Structure 1
Amino acid sequence: RFGELFHIVILAWFANCVLPAKMGDFYRAYLLRQQTDVSGSKGLGTIFSERALDFLVLMSLLVISGLISFRATVPERFVPAFIVGLLIAAGLIAGLLVVRYSEGRLSRYLPERLRERAARFKHGLLSAFAGRLPLLLGLTVVVWMAESTRLFLVVQALPLHISLSLAQIMFIALVASLLTTIPALPGGLVLVEGGIIAVLVFFGLTASQALSVAILDRLISYWSLIAVGLVVFLMSHRR
Protein backbone atom coordinates (compact mmCIF):
# COMPACT_ATOMS: atom_id res chain seq x y z
CA ARG A 1 0.00 0.00 0.00
CA PHE A 2 2.77 2.47 0.94
CA GLY A 3 4.69 1.68 -2.24
CA GLU A 4 1.59 2.24 -4.36
CA LEU A 5 0.84 5.60 -2.73
CA PHE A 6 4.50 6.66 -2.91
CA HIS A 7 4.47 5.88 -6.64
CA ILE A 8 1.37 8.06 -7.06
CA VAL A 9 2.91 10.94 -5.12
CA ILE A 10 6.13 10.86 -7.18
CA LEU A 11 4.14 10.95 -10.42
CA ALA A 12 2.01 13.83 -9.11
CA TRP A 13 5.11 15.81 -8.09
CA PHE A 14 6.57 15.17 -11.54
CA ALA A 15 3.37 16.47 -13.13
CA ASN A 16 3.50 19.58 -10.92
CA CYS A 17 7.04 20.21 -12.17
CA VAL A 18 6.14 20.04 -15.86
CA LEU A 19 2.58 21.42 -15.81
CA PRO A 20 1.37 24.83 -14.57
CA ALA A 21 -1.34 25.60 -12.00
CA LYS A 22 -0.60 22.59 -9.78
CA MET A 23 -2.24 20.26 -12.30
CA GLY A 24 -0.31 17.42 -10.70
CA ASP A 25 -2.79 17.48 -7.82
CA PHE A 26 -5.63 16.65 -10.20
CA TYR A 27 -3.43 13.96 -11.73
CA ARG A 28 -2.90 12.53 -8.25
CA ALA A 29 -6.67 12.37 -7.69
CA TYR A 30 -7.03 10.63 -11.07
CA LEU A 31 -4.34 8.08 -10.18
CA LEU A 32 -5.98 7.45 -6.80
CA ARG A 33 -9.27 6.70 -8.54
CA GLN A 34 -7.57 4.43 -11.09
CA GLN A 35 -5.30 2.49 -8.74
CA THR A 36 -7.22 2.43 -5.44
CA ASP A 37 -10.81 2.29 -4.25
CA VAL A 38 -10.81 6.04 -3.47
CA SER A 39 -13.22 8.06 -5.62
CA GLY A 40 -11.96 11.09 -7.52
CA SER A 41 -14.08 13.51 -5.47
CA LYS A 42 -12.92 12.09 -2.15
CA GLY A 43 -9.32 12.07 -3.38
CA LEU A 44 -9.57 15.74 -4.36
CA GLY A 45 -11.01 16.55 -0.94
CA THR A 46 -8.11 14.82 0.79
CA ILE A 47 -5.56 16.55 -1.45
CA PHE A 48 -7.21 19.93 -0.84
CA SER A 49 -7.01 19.37 2.93
CA GLU A 50 -3.32 18.50 2.57
CA ARG A 51 -2.68 21.66 0.55
CA ALA A 52 -4.64 23.81 2.98
CA LEU A 53 -2.69 22.50 5.97
CA ASP A 54 0.56 22.92 4.03
CA PHE A 55 -0.23 26.54 3.26
CA LEU A 56 -1.40 27.43 6.77
CA VAL A 57 1.72 25.97 8.39
CA LEU A 58 3.92 27.55 5.71
CA MET A 59 2.41 31.00 6.33
CA SER A 60 2.76 30.60 10.10
CA LEU A 61 6.44 29.68 9.83
CA LEU A 62 7.00 32.36 7.19
CA VAL A 63 5.61 35.08 9.46
CA ILE A 64 7.59 33.84 12.46
CA SER A 65 10.88 33.51 10.56
CA GLY A 66 10.25 36.85 8.83
CA LEU A 67 9.66 38.70 12.09
CA ILE A 68 12.83 37.18 13.56
CA SER A 69 14.87 37.92 10.42
CA PHE A 70 13.67 41.52 10.23
CA ARG A 71 13.68 42.02 14.01
CA ALA A 72 9.91 42.49 14.20
CA THR A 73 9.91 45.22 11.52
CA VAL A 74 8.87 43.90 8.11
CA PRO A 75 10.46 45.89 5.24
CA GLU A 76 7.94 47.84 3.20
CA ARG A 77 8.64 45.86 0.03
CA PHE A 78 7.52 42.62 1.72
CA VAL A 79 4.37 44.00 3.38
CA PRO A 80 1.99 43.43 0.40
CA ALA A 81 3.11 39.79 0.09
CA PHE A 82 2.59 39.25 3.82
CA ILE A 83 -0.89 40.78 3.66
CA VAL A 84 -1.94 38.70 0.64
CA GLY A 85 -0.63 35.51 2.25
CA LEU A 86 -2.42 36.20 5.52
CA LEU A 87 -5.67 37.00 3.69
CA ILE A 88 -5.45 33.71 1.77
CA ALA A 89 -4.76 31.86 5.03
CA ALA A 90 -7.76 33.53 6.68
CA GLY A 91 -9.91 32.63 3.67
CA LEU A 92 -8.81 28.98 3.86
CA ILE A 93 -9.65 28.78 7.56
CA ALA A 94 -13.04 30.42 6.98
CA GLY A 95 -13.77 28.08 4.07
CA LEU A 96 -12.88 24.98 6.09
CA LEU A 97 -15.09 26.14 8.96
CA VAL A 98 -18.00 26.79 6.61
CA VAL A 99 -17.67 23.33 5.05
CA ARG A 100 -17.31 21.73 8.49
CA TYR A 101 -20.40 23.32 10.03
CA SER A 102 -22.66 23.77 7.00
CA GLU A 103 -24.35 20.41 7.73
CA GLY A 104 -25.22 19.89 4.07
CA ARG A 105 -27.00 23.23 3.67
CA LEU A 106 -24.65 24.32 0.89
CA SER A 107 -25.39 21.21 -1.19
CA ARG A 108 -28.98 22.39 -1.64
CA TYR A 109 -27.72 24.98 -4.10
CA LEU A 110 -25.95 22.38 -6.25
CA PRO A 111 -27.49 20.45 -9.14
CA GLU A 112 -28.73 17.02 -8.10
CA ARG A 113 -26.05 15.22 -10.11
CA LEU A 114 -23.26 17.06 -8.25
CA ARG A 115 -24.52 16.59 -4.69
CA GLU A 116 -23.10 13.10 -4.24
CA ARG A 117 -19.71 14.22 -5.54
CA ALA A 118 -19.78 17.23 -3.22
CA ALA A 119 -20.56 14.93 -0.29
CA ARG A 120 -17.59 12.69 -1.16
CA PHE A 121 -15.36 15.77 -1.52
CA LYS A 122 -16.46 17.01 1.90
CA HIS A 123 -15.87 13.58 3.42
CA GLY A 124 -12.36 13.44 1.97
CA LEU A 125 -11.66 17.00 3.10
CA LEU A 126 -12.76 16.55 6.70
CA SER A 127 -11.87 12.90 7.29
CA ALA A 128 -8.22 13.70 6.58
CA PHE A 129 -8.14 15.75 9.80
CA ALA A 130 -10.29 13.48 11.95
CA GLY A 131 -8.35 12.57 15.10
CA ARG A 132 -5.02 13.20 13.38
CA LEU A 133 -4.65 16.97 13.35
CA PRO A 134 -1.82 17.20 15.93
CA LEU A 135 0.16 14.48 14.11
CA LEU A 136 -0.45 16.10 10.72
CA LEU A 137 0.58 19.50 12.04
CA GLY A 138 3.77 18.04 13.48
CA LEU A 139 4.66 16.21 10.27
CA THR A 140 3.96 19.32 8.18
CA VAL A 141 6.27 21.40 10.37
CA VAL A 142 8.96 18.72 9.99
CA VAL A 143 8.55 18.80 6.19
CA TRP A 144 9.00 22.58 6.03
CA MET A 145 11.97 22.34 8.37
CA ALA A 146 13.47 19.79 5.97
CA GLU A 147 12.97 22.27 3.11
CA SER A 148 14.87 24.87 5.11
CA THR A 149 17.60 22.36 5.98
CA ARG A 150 18.17 21.66 2.29
CA LEU A 151 18.76 25.35 1.61
CA PHE A 152 21.00 25.59 4.69
CA LEU A 153 23.16 22.75 3.35
CA VAL A 154 23.29 24.39 -0.08
CA VAL A 155 24.50 27.65 1.46
CA GLN A 156 27.09 25.78 3.55
CA ALA A 157 28.35 23.88 0.50
CA LEU A 158 29.20 27.06 -1.40
CA PRO A 159 32.17 29.34 -0.60
CA LEU A 160 30.02 32.40 0.04
CA HIS A 161 31.97 33.78 3.02
CA ILE A 162 28.79 35.24 4.49
CA SER A 163 26.69 34.06 7.39
CA LEU A 164 22.92 33.80 7.28
CA SER A 165 20.90 33.11 10.40
CA LEU A 166 18.68 30.03 10.56
CA ALA A 167 15.63 32.31 10.57
CA GLN A 168 16.81 34.01 7.38
CA ILE A 169 17.46 30.69 5.66
CA MET A 170 14.03 29.42 6.69
CA PHE A 171 12.43 32.62 5.42
CA ILE A 172 14.14 32.28 2.03
CA ALA A 173 13.21 28.60 1.70
CA LEU A 174 9.58 29.28 2.59
CA VAL A 175 9.35 32.23 0.19
CA ALA A 176 10.59 29.90 -2.56
CA SER A 177 7.98 27.28 -1.62
CA LEU A 178 5.26 29.91 -1.54
CA LEU A 179 6.16 31.07 -5.05
CA THR A 180 5.63 27.54 -6.40
CA THR A 181 1.90 27.92 -5.60
CA ILE A 182 1.49 30.74 -8.14
CA PRO A 183 -0.26 29.18 -11.18
CA ALA A 184 2.10 30.56 -13.80
CA LEU A 185 4.99 28.52 -15.16
CA PRO A 186 5.45 24.84 -14.17
CA GLY A 187 6.92 24.37 -10.69
CA GLY A 188 7.28 28.12 -10.22
CA LEU A 189 10.06 28.12 -12.82
CA VAL A 190 11.79 31.53 -13.04
CA LEU A 191 9.56 32.93 -10.26
CA VAL A 192 11.20 30.80 -7.58
CA GLU A 193 14.72 31.47 -8.80
CA GLY A 194 13.97 35.19 -8.97
CA GLY A 195 12.49 35.16 -5.48
CA ILE A 196 15.47 33.34 -3.98
CA ILE A 197 17.91 35.75 -5.63
CA ALA A 198 15.93 38.85 -4.58
CA VAL A 199 15.72 37.86 -0.91
CA LEU A 200 19.35 36.70 -0.76
CA VAL A 201 20.51 40.02 -2.23
CA PHE A 202 18.36 41.82 0.34
CA PHE A 203 20.15 39.86 3.08
CA GLY A 204 23.56 40.96 1.80
CA LEU A 205 24.72 38.49 -0.86
CA THR A 206 25.94 39.66 -4.23
CA ALA A 207 23.85 38.88 -7.30
CA SER A 208 26.35 36.24 -8.46
CA GLN A 209 26.39 34.57 -5.03
CA ALA A 210 22.60 34.56 -4.91
CA LEU A 211 22.42 33.13 -8.43
CA SER A 212 24.74 30.25 -7.50
CA VAL A 213 22.59 29.43 -4.46
CA ALA A 214 19.40 29.55 -6.52
CA ILE A 215 20.81 27.33 -9.28
CA LEU A 216 22.16 24.67 -6.91
CA ASP A 217 19.03 24.65 -4.76
CA ARG A 218 16.76 24.27 -7.77
CA LEU A 219 18.94 21.54 -9.24
CA ILE A 220 18.20 19.58 -6.07
CA SER A 221 14.57 20.53 -5.46
CA TYR A 222 13.24 20.85 -9.02
CA TRP A 223 15.42 19.35 -11.74
CA SER A 224 16.32 16.20 -9.80
CA LEU A 225 12.62 15.60 -9.18
CA ILE A 226 11.95 15.91 -12.91
CA ALA A 227 14.70 13.39 -13.62
CA VAL A 228 13.42 10.87 -11.05
CA GLY A 229 9.78 11.51 -11.94
CA LEU A 230 10.44 11.01 -15.65
CA VAL A 231 12.04 7.62 -15.00
CA VAL A 232 9.09 6.55 -12.81
CA PHE A 233 6.61 7.88 -15.39
CA LEU A 234 8.25 5.99 -18.27
CA MET A 235 8.51 2.79 -16.23
CA SER A 236 4.86 2.99 -15.18
CA HIS A 237 3.77 3.31 -18.81
CA ARG A 238 5.74 0.23 -19.85
CA ARG A 239 3.67 -2.02 -17.63
Structure 2
Amino acid sequence: MQDALEHSDAEAVRDDSPQQPKTWKSIVSKWLSIVLPLALGFALIVYQYNQFTPQQLQEMKGYFVSANYFYIGLSLFVALFGFLSRAYRWKFALEHMGYQTHFKNNLMAVCISYFINLTIPRSGEISRAVILKKYEDVPFSKGFGTIVAERIVDLAIFFLFVCVSLLFQFRTLKNFILEYIPVEKLIWLAVIGFVGFIAFIVIWIYSRWTLIEKLKTKVSGLTEGLLSIYYMEKKWPYLFHSFFIWFTYFMMFYITIFALPETSDIRLGAVMIAFVFGSLAMGFTNSGFGAFPLLIAQIFLLYGVSNTAGTAFGWLVWISQTLLIVVLGLVSFILLPVLNRNK
Protein backbone atom coordinates (compact mmCIF):
# COMPACT_ATOMS: atom_id res chain seq x y z
CA MET A 1 0.00 0.00 0.00
CA GLN A 2 2.81 2.42 0.84
CA ASP A 3 4.51 1.65 -2.50
CA ALA A 4 1.32 2.59 -4.30
CA LEU A 5 1.16 5.84 -2.35
CA GLU A 6 4.77 6.67 -3.18
CA HIS A 7 3.97 5.96 -6.85
CA SER A 8 1.06 8.38 -6.67
CA ASP A 9 3.34 10.89 -4.96
CA ALA A 10 5.75 10.74 -7.89
CA GLU A 11 2.89 11.26 -10.35
CA ALA A 12 1.62 14.24 -8.38
CA VAL A 13 4.98 15.95 -8.31
CA ARG A 14 5.48 15.18 -12.00
CA ASP A 15 2.17 16.89 -12.85
CA ASP A 16 2.95 20.05 -10.89
CA SER A 17 6.68 20.44 -11.49
CA PRO A 18 9.48 19.13 -13.72
CA GLN A 19 10.58 15.61 -12.82
CA GLN A 20 13.79 15.47 -10.87
CA PRO A 21 16.03 12.45 -11.53
CA LYS A 22 16.96 10.41 -8.48
CA THR A 23 20.58 10.71 -7.41
CA TRP A 24 22.66 8.73 -4.96
CA LYS A 25 22.56 11.75 -2.67
CA SER A 26 18.75 11.82 -2.62
CA ILE A 27 18.54 8.04 -2.09
CA VAL A 28 21.03 8.11 0.79
CA SER A 29 19.25 11.14 2.28
CA LYS A 30 15.92 9.32 2.13
CA TRP A 31 17.26 6.21 3.86
CA LEU A 32 19.04 8.27 6.50
CA SER A 33 15.77 10.05 7.27
CA ILE A 34 14.28 6.63 8.03
CA VAL A 35 17.18 4.87 9.75
CA LEU A 36 18.62 7.65 11.93
CA PRO A 37 15.41 8.51 13.88
CA LEU A 38 14.73 4.80 14.42
CA ALA A 39 18.33 4.21 15.55
CA LEU A 40 18.06 7.14 17.96
CA GLY A 41 14.80 5.76 19.32
CA PHE A 42 16.29 2.31 19.91
CA ALA A 43 19.37 3.88 21.52
CA LEU A 44 17.19 5.87 23.93
CA ILE A 45 15.21 2.73 24.83
CA VAL A 46 18.40 0.76 25.53
CA TYR A 47 19.80 3.66 27.57
CA GLN A 48 16.64 3.95 29.65
CA TYR A 49 16.34 0.17 30.07
CA ASN A 50 19.89 -0.02 31.44
CA GLN A 51 19.05 2.54 34.11
CA PHE A 52 16.58 0.19 35.80
CA THR A 53 17.28 -2.67 38.17
CA PRO A 54 15.47 -6.01 37.70
CA GLN A 55 13.19 -5.04 40.60
CA GLN A 56 12.31 -1.73 38.94
CA LEU A 57 11.56 -3.45 35.63
CA GLN A 58 9.23 -5.83 37.48
CA GLU A 59 7.60 -2.84 39.17
CA MET A 60 7.07 -1.19 35.79
CA LYS A 61 5.38 -4.33 34.45
CA GLY A 62 3.03 -4.11 37.40
CA TYR A 63 1.97 -0.62 36.34
CA PHE A 64 0.92 -1.93 32.93
CA VAL A 65 -1.08 -4.75 34.54
CA SER A 66 -2.82 -2.58 37.16
CA ALA A 67 -3.44 0.49 34.96
CA ASN A 68 -7.05 1.64 34.64
CA TYR A 69 -7.58 1.18 30.91
CA PHE A 70 -10.93 2.95 31.04
CA TYR A 71 -9.03 6.25 31.05
CA ILE A 72 -6.82 5.05 28.21
CA GLY A 73 -9.91 4.30 26.15
CA LEU A 74 -11.48 7.63 27.10
CA SER A 75 -8.34 9.49 26.01
CA LEU A 76 -8.42 7.76 22.63
CA PHE A 77 -12.11 8.63 22.25
CA VAL A 78 -11.20 12.29 22.78
CA ALA A 79 -8.38 11.89 20.24
CA LEU A 80 -10.92 10.91 17.57
CA PHE A 81 -12.44 14.39 17.79
CA GLY A 82 -9.00 15.83 17.03
CA PHE A 83 -8.82 13.78 13.81
CA LEU A 84 -12.33 14.88 12.82
CA SER A 85 -11.60 18.52 13.60
CA ARG A 86 -8.34 18.52 11.61
CA ALA A 87 -10.11 17.07 8.58
CA TYR A 88 -12.94 19.61 8.88
CA ARG A 89 -10.53 22.54 9.33
CA TRP A 90 -8.82 21.56 6.09
CA LYS A 91 -12.05 22.22 4.16
CA PHE A 92 -11.93 25.94 5.04
CA ALA A 93 -8.50 26.43 3.48
CA LEU A 94 -9.43 24.44 0.37
CA GLU A 95 -12.71 26.30 -0.06
CA HIS A 96 -10.80 29.56 0.15
CA MET A 97 -8.90 28.44 -2.96
CA GLY A 98 -12.10 27.40 -4.74
CA TYR A 99 -12.01 23.62 -4.16
CA GLN A 100 -14.94 21.69 -2.72
CA THR A 101 -13.76 18.41 -1.26
CA HIS A 102 -15.50 15.49 0.42
CA PHE A 103 -15.10 15.31 4.18
CA LYS A 104 -14.58 11.54 4.09
CA ASN A 105 -11.54 11.92 1.83
CA ASN A 106 -10.12 14.70 3.98
CA LEU A 107 -10.51 12.53 7.07
CA MET A 108 -8.94 9.43 5.53
CA ALA A 109 -6.06 11.52 4.15
CA VAL A 110 -5.41 12.89 7.64
CA CYS A 111 -5.47 9.39 9.18
CA ILE A 112 -3.10 8.04 6.53
CA SER A 113 -0.73 10.99 7.02
CA TYR A 114 -0.39 10.21 10.74
CA PHE A 115 0.24 6.56 9.87
CA ILE A 116 2.90 7.40 7.26
CA ASN A 117 4.65 9.70 9.73
CA LEU A 118 5.35 6.64 11.88
CA THR A 119 7.74 5.42 9.17
CA ILE A 120 9.29 8.57 7.69
CA PRO A 121 9.01 11.75 9.80
CA ARG A 122 7.00 14.53 8.09
CA SER A 123 6.32 12.40 4.99
CA GLY A 124 2.66 12.26 5.99
CA GLU A 125 2.13 15.86 4.88
CA ILE A 126 3.15 14.87 1.35
CA SER A 127 0.80 11.87 1.40
CA ARG A 128 -2.12 14.14 2.31
CA ALA A 129 -1.51 16.34 -0.71
CA VAL A 130 -1.07 13.27 -2.94
CA ILE A 131 -4.38 11.75 -1.82
CA LEU A 132 -6.15 15.05 -2.32
CA LYS A 133 -4.85 15.29 -5.88
CA LYS A 134 -5.77 11.72 -6.71
CA TYR A 135 -9.30 11.69 -5.29
CA GLU A 136 -10.34 15.36 -5.30
CA ASP A 137 -8.29 16.68 -8.26
CA VAL A 138 -6.67 19.43 -6.18
CA PRO A 139 -3.22 20.35 -7.58
CA PHE A 140 -0.44 18.95 -5.41
CA SER A 141 1.25 22.32 -4.87
CA LYS A 142 -1.96 23.98 -3.68
CA GLY A 143 -2.98 21.12 -1.44
CA PHE A 144 0.49 21.02 0.09
CA GLY A 145 0.37 24.80 0.57
CA THR A 146 -2.71 24.49 2.77
CA ILE A 147 -0.92 21.87 4.87
CA VAL A 148 2.09 24.15 5.32
CA ALA A 149 -0.26 26.89 6.51
CA GLU A 150 -1.75 24.44 9.02
CA ARG A 151 1.70 23.64 10.36
CA ILE A 152 2.40 27.34 10.90
CA VAL A 153 -0.79 27.79 12.91
CA ASP A 154 -0.11 24.61 14.89
CA LEU A 155 3.40 25.84 15.68
CA ALA A 156 2.03 29.18 16.92
CA ILE A 157 -0.48 27.44 19.21
CA PHE A 158 2.21 25.11 20.51
CA PHE A 159 4.38 28.14 21.29
CA LEU A 160 1.44 29.53 23.26
CA PHE A 161 1.35 26.28 25.26
CA VAL A 162 5.06 26.69 25.94
CA CYS A 163 4.64 30.26 27.19
CA VAL A 164 1.70 29.41 29.46
CA SER A 165 3.50 26.37 30.86
CA LEU A 166 6.66 28.35 31.60
CA LEU A 167 4.60 31.10 33.21
CA PHE A 168 2.85 28.77 35.66
CA GLN A 169 5.81 26.49 36.35
CA PHE A 170 8.63 29.03 36.26
CA ARG A 171 9.72 28.47 39.88
CA THR A 172 9.96 24.69 39.54
CA LEU A 173 11.89 24.89 36.28
CA LYS A 174 14.15 27.64 37.66
CA ASN A 175 15.09 25.53 40.68
CA PHE A 176 15.69 22.52 38.43
CA ILE A 177 17.98 24.51 36.12
CA LEU A 178 19.89 26.14 38.98
CA GLU A 179 20.42 22.72 40.57
CA TYR A 180 22.33 21.45 37.53
CA ILE A 181 23.74 24.68 36.02
CA PRO A 182 25.58 27.26 38.21
CA VAL A 183 24.47 30.91 37.99
CA GLU A 184 27.82 31.94 36.48
CA LYS A 185 27.36 29.53 33.61
CA LEU A 186 23.80 30.75 33.04
CA ILE A 187 25.10 34.33 32.77
CA TRP A 188 27.74 33.27 30.25
CA LEU A 189 25.13 31.32 28.28
CA ALA A 190 22.86 34.39 28.24
CA VAL A 191 25.70 36.61 26.99
CA ILE A 192 26.72 34.10 24.31
CA GLY A 193 23.10 33.69 23.27
CA PHE A 194 22.60 37.47 22.97
CA VAL A 195 25.79 37.93 20.92
CA GLY A 196 24.81 34.99 18.73
CA PHE A 197 21.35 36.50 18.18
CA ILE A 198 22.82 39.86 17.11
CA ALA A 199 25.27 38.09 14.77
CA PHE A 200 22.42 36.08 13.24
CA ILE A 201 20.39 39.26 12.59
CA VAL A 202 23.35 40.93 10.87
CA ILE A 203 24.05 37.83 8.76
CA TRP A 204 20.34 37.52 7.90
CA ILE A 205 20.15 41.11 6.65
CA TYR A 206 23.45 41.44 4.78
CA SER A 207 24.59 37.91 3.89
CA ARG A 208 24.21 36.49 0.38
CA TRP A 209 25.11 32.93 1.35
CA THR A 210 23.16 30.26 -0.45
CA LEU A 211 21.92 28.74 2.81
CA ILE A 212 20.63 32.10 4.08
CA GLU A 213 18.92 32.80 0.75
CA LYS A 214 17.16 29.42 0.94
CA LEU A 215 16.04 30.15 4.49
CA LYS A 216 14.68 33.53 3.42
CA THR A 217 12.71 31.84 0.66
CA LYS A 218 11.21 29.38 3.13
CA VAL A 219 10.34 32.14 5.61
CA SER A 220 8.69 34.06 2.77
CA GLY A 221 6.58 31.00 1.98
CA LEU A 222 5.57 30.64 5.62
CA THR A 223 4.57 34.32 5.74
CA GLU A 224 2.47 33.83 2.61
CA GLY A 225 0.78 30.87 4.27
CA LEU A 226 -0.13 32.94 7.32
CA LEU A 227 -1.48 35.76 5.18
CA SER A 228 -3.68 33.30 3.29
CA ILE A 229 -5.34 32.45 6.61
CA TYR A 230 -5.81 36.14 7.42
CA TYR A 231 -7.68 36.71 4.15
CA MET A 232 -9.67 33.48 4.44
CA GLU A 233 -13.43 34.02 4.47
CA LYS A 234 -13.94 31.51 7.29
CA LYS A 235 -10.81 32.32 9.27
CA TRP A 236 -12.57 32.36 12.65
CA PRO A 237 -14.00 28.83 12.31
CA TYR A 238 -10.56 27.81 11.01
CA LEU A 239 -8.86 29.24 14.11
CA PHE A 240 -11.51 27.74 16.40
CA HIS A 241 -10.79 24.26 15.05
CA SER A 242 -7.05 24.93 15.32
CA PHE A 243 -7.36 25.59 19.05
CA PHE A 244 -9.84 22.73 19.46
CA ILE A 245 -7.36 20.29 17.87
CA TRP A 246 -4.70 21.21 20.43
CA PHE A 247 -7.30 21.08 23.19
CA THR A 248 -8.00 17.45 22.26
CA TYR A 249 -4.25 16.73 22.19
CA PHE A 250 -3.85 18.09 25.70
CA MET A 251 -7.00 16.43 27.07
CA MET A 252 -5.93 13.09 25.62
CA PHE A 253 -2.67 13.45 27.57
CA TYR A 254 -4.34 14.80 30.72
CA ILE A 255 -7.02 12.09 30.96
CA THR A 256 -4.35 9.38 30.87
CA ILE A 257 -2.79 10.54 34.16
CA PHE A 258 -5.76 8.98 35.98
CA ALA A 259 -4.83 5.54 34.62
CA LEU A 260 -2.12 5.23 37.30
CA PRO A 261 -2.58 6.12 41.01
CA GLU A 262 1.02 7.43 41.07
CA THR A 263 0.23 10.10 38.47
CA SER A 264 -3.43 10.84 39.19
CA ASP A 265 -2.77 13.68 41.67
CA ILE A 266 -0.26 15.63 39.54
CA ARG A 267 -1.06 19.33 39.28
CA LEU A 268 -2.37 20.78 36.02
CA GLY A 269 0.73 22.94 35.55
CA ALA A 270 2.98 19.90 35.79
CA VAL A 271 0.86 18.09 33.22
CA MET A 272 1.19 21.07 30.87
CA ILE A 273 4.99 21.03 31.16
CA ALA A 274 5.06 17.28 30.50
CA PHE A 275 2.74 17.75 27.54
CA VAL A 276 5.03 20.40 26.04
CA PHE A 277 8.15 18.25 26.38
CA GLY A 278 6.26 15.22 25.10
CA SER A 279 5.22 17.19 22.02
CA LEU A 280 8.84 18.19 21.45
CA ALA A 281 9.87 14.54 21.73
CA MET A 282 7.58 13.72 18.79
CA GLY A 283 10.05 15.50 16.51
CA PHE A 284 13.20 13.79 17.82
CA THR A 285 12.36 10.31 16.54
CA ASN A 286 9.57 8.61 14.58
CA SER A 287 6.53 10.05 16.39
CA GLY A 288 8.50 10.12 19.65
CA PHE A 289 9.62 6.48 19.58
CA GLY A 290 11.87 6.02 22.62
CA ALA A 291 12.18 9.76 23.25
CA PHE A 292 8.59 10.37 24.46
CA PRO A 293 8.62 8.06 27.53
CA LEU A 294 12.14 9.17 28.49
CA LEU A 295 11.31 12.89 28.52
CA ILE A 296 7.97 12.39 30.24
CA ALA A 297 9.64 10.39 33.02
CA GLN A 298 12.29 13.10 33.53
CA ILE A 299 9.67 15.84 33.83
CA PHE A 300 7.51 13.83 36.23
CA LEU A 301 10.56 13.27 38.44
CA LEU A 302 10.47 17.01 39.20
CA TYR A 303 7.03 16.54 40.71
CA GLY A 304 7.73 13.52 42.90
CA VAL A 305 6.68 10.75 40.50
CA SER A 306 9.08 7.81 40.49
CA ASN A 307 11.11 7.09 37.37
CA THR A 308 9.38 3.73 36.92
CA ALA A 309 5.88 5.20 37.18
CA GLY A 310 6.75 8.11 34.88
CA THR A 311 8.26 5.77 32.31
CA ALA A 312 5.26 3.44 32.46
CA PHE A 313 2.94 6.41 32.00
CA GLY A 314 4.95 7.62 29.00
CA TRP A 315 4.77 4.22 27.32
CA LEU A 316 1.04 3.90 28.06
CA VAL A 317 0.38 7.20 26.32
CA TRP A 318 2.71 6.51 23.40
CA ILE A 319 1.59 2.92 22.74
CA SER A 320 -2.13 3.73 22.95
CA GLN A 321 -1.79 6.71 20.60
CA THR A 322 0.35 4.74 18.17
CA LEU A 323 -2.13 1.85 18.10
CA LEU A 324 -4.95 4.30 17.36
CA ILE A 325 -2.94 5.83 14.51
CA VAL A 326 -2.11 2.40 13.06
CA VAL A 327 -5.73 1.23 13.18
CA LEU A 328 -7.16 4.42 11.67
CA GLY A 329 -4.39 4.54 9.05
CA LEU A 330 -4.87 0.95 7.90
CA VAL A 331 -8.68 1.28 7.83
CA SER A 332 -8.34 4.47 5.78
CA PHE A 333 -5.90 2.77 3.37
CA ILE A 334 -8.52 0.06 2.76
CA LEU A 335 -11.61 2.29 2.60
CA LEU A 336 -10.17 5.14 0.52
CA PRO A 337 -10.24 3.31 -2.86
CA VAL A 338 -13.45 1.45 -1.95
CA LEU A 339 -15.38 4.64 -1.19
CA ASN A 340 -14.01 6.33 -4.31
CA ARG A 341 -14.63 3.62 -6.92
CA ASN A 342 -15.86 6.13 -9.46
CA LYS A 343 -12.76 8.31 -9.21
TM-score of the pair, normalised by structure 2: 0.52
Partner residue in 1 for 2:331: 231
> Deviation per CA, 1:13-61, whole angstroms, max 9, x where unpaired?
11112x2321111111111111112111111111111011101110111
Matched, 1:14 2:115: yes
Change in CA separation of 1:162 and 1:236 when aligned onto 2, cut-off 3 Å: closer
- Asked if structure 2 preserves the Cα contact closer than 8 Å seen for 1:57 and 1:141, the reply is yes
Match of residue 203, structure 1, among 288, 299, 303:
303
The secondary structure found in structure 2 opposite 1:181 is coil
1:178: Cα distance to partner? 2.4
Matched, 1:58 2:164: no
Counterpart residue identity of residue 281, structure 2 = L
Please list every run of 5 or more consecutive structure 1 residues that lacks an aligned counterpart in the other structure.
102-121
Distance in 2 separating the partners of 1:212 and 1:142: 28
1:237: Cα distance to partner? 5.9
Please list every run of 5 or more consecutive structure 2 residues that lacks an aligned counterpart in the other structure.
1-101, 198-203, 205-215
The secondary structure found in structure 2 opposite 1:205 is coil
The secondary structure found in structure 2 opposite 1:174 is helix
Distance in 1 separating the partners of 2:162 and 2:249: 12
Partner residue in 2 for 1:188: 288
Distance in 1 separating the partners of 2:230 and 2:130: 22
Task: Select the structure of larger CA radius of gyration.
Answer: 2
The secondary structure found in structure 2 opposite 1:164 is coil
Partner residue in 1 for 2:275: 173
- Asked if structure 1 preserves the Cα contact closer than 8 Å seen for 2:108 and 2:336, the reply is no
Partner residue in 1 for 2:242: 140
The secondary structure found in structure 2 opposite 1:163 is coil
Question: RMSD across aligned C-alpha pairs, in angstroms?
Answer: 3.2
Counterpart residue identity of residue 159, structure 1 = P
Change in CA separation of 1:160 and 1:220 when aligned onto 2, cut-off 3 Å: same
Counterpart residue identity of residue 137, structure 1 = L
Change in CA separation of 1:136 and 1:178 when aligned onto 2, cut-off 3 Å: farther
Change in CA separation of 1:72 and 1:52 when aligned onto 2, cut-off 3 Å: farther
Stretch moving more, 195-204 or 125-134: 125-134
The secondary structure found in structure 2 opposite 1:22 is coil
Change in CA separation of 1:209 and 1:180 when aligned onto 2, cut-off 3 Å: same
- Asked if structure 1 preserves the Cα contact closer than 8 Å seen for 2:129 and 2:143, the reply is yes
Distance in 1 separating the partners of 2:222 and 2:311: 45
What is the number of residues matched between the two proteins? 205
Change in CA separation of 1:22 and 1:98 when aligned onto 2, cut-off 3 Å: closer
Identity of aligned residues (%): 22
